Amino acid sequence: MDRTDPGAAFVQGPVSVSVPATSANLGPGYDTLGLALALRDVLTGEVIAPADGTPARVEVEVVGEGAGDVPLDESHLVVRAMRCAFEQMGLAQPSLRLRCENVLPHSRGLGSSSAAIVGGLALARALVADGAQRLDDTDLFTLAARLEGHPDNVAPAVFGGFTVSGSEGGTFFAVPSPVAAGVSAVVFVPDEPVSTEVARSLLPATVPHADAAANAARVALLVLALAQRPELLPAATRDYLHQDYRASAMPRSAELVRSLRADGVAAVISGAGPTVLAFVGDADPDDHVESPADARRALTSAEALLARCPEGWRAHHLAVDPRGVVVR
């Protein structure tokens, strides 16, 4: 039975959405913690013809990251996400014109696939006159998590800021958590990608109980540290579950993390890597710390960190972005 709504009205003319970069895990928060960062892809779409019973046409243009590498047809991830959104809203996919202005590097651990999925879902919703009623943010998040397979990146891409997410009995959840004023991040982006599939394949099926217990303590501490105790970030970002196991796939990233952490910097592998993320904060050196020297080690300046960017890599100092995907 045809469940589509032939009476739906599409928005006239082009519509644009922007979606932030995201960093998942943040050290110990494997597959559950995510942070939106102020670096955004922009997607612009336009309905060029409503569905008429024939296969929908798509025109895809990609500029910036991924240009020349990603497909320019219905297999493009944004188009696939848009198709899922139209289906979820009870609509047949119209013929579309899509322009992707990409700044998020692909396969580097900054949530490019989540940005494509969330951006595509939000763009499809924005192209429907009553799209927000048909697909609210909670439904959009759930659909994005199903498409991505896990919620840690899509949660901050939808809701912004710092999120704690997971699933229970097939139902996904995401809860926002505060970030102290002045906390930001420097990301070091290598020139070579590492696929999420390769990174996941290196993880063991089980870990020692002591490692799991130690990691749980760090996750709890990390939520507190980001909210109000940034000087605790170096200790809170210690990971026991995944980074060491993945080091062979990204040796230069692993070495940079080790070097930065040895100097008291809260450095981690961003997502599945190989990007390295280092937290920056401006907490008062005399507030909640054993000594001003401890705080200075923990809260290294962005300028000093940027100067440690390896040759051939790119580095960015990024604010935590309180916004998720938005219509421009």
Residue 88's closest CA among 42, 52, 129, 136? 136
Check if the beta carbon of residue 163 is closer than 8 Å to that of residue 114.
no
Q: From 146, 116, 150, select the one nearest 271 (Cα to Cα).
A: 150
The CA distance from 39 to 201, in Å, is: 28
Q: Is 98 annotated as a binding residue?
A: no
Q: Both tokens of residue 86?
A: 């139209």
Sequence-separated (6 or more) residues with CB below 8 Å from residue 261: 234, 267
Is residue 95 marked as binding? no
Q: Structure tokens of 238?
A: 């210690």
Task: Say whether 262 counts as a known binding-site residue.
Answer: no
Backbone angles phi, psi at 292, to 5 degrees: -55, -35
How far apart are the two ends of the chain, measured CA to CA in Å?
A: 37
In a 10 Å sphere around its CB, with 0-12 CB exposed, 13-18 middle and 19+ buried, how is residue 29 labelled?
Answer: buried
- In the DSSP assignment, the letter for residue 55 is P
Q: Which amino acid is at 12?
A: Q
CA–CA distance, 204 with 139 (Å, rounded to integer): 33
Is 106 assigned a ligand-binding role in the annotation? yes
Q: Does 259 appear as a known binding residue?
A: no
Half-sphere exposure of 129 (CA within 13 A, CB side): 7
At 197, is the secondary structure helix, strand, or coil? helix
Is 112 labeled as ligand-binding? yes
Q: Residue 105 annotated as binding? A: yes
What's the DSSP call for residue 10? B
CA-to-CA dists, residue 68 to 60, 266, 286, angstroms = 12, 36, 51
Residue 107 counted as an annotated binding residue: yes
In contact, 110 and 19? CB cutoff 8 Å: no
Distances (CA, A) of 75 to 60, 115, 200, 261: 10, 16, 24, 41
Residues flagged as binding site for ATP: 105-115
**Residue ranges of the binding site:** 105-115
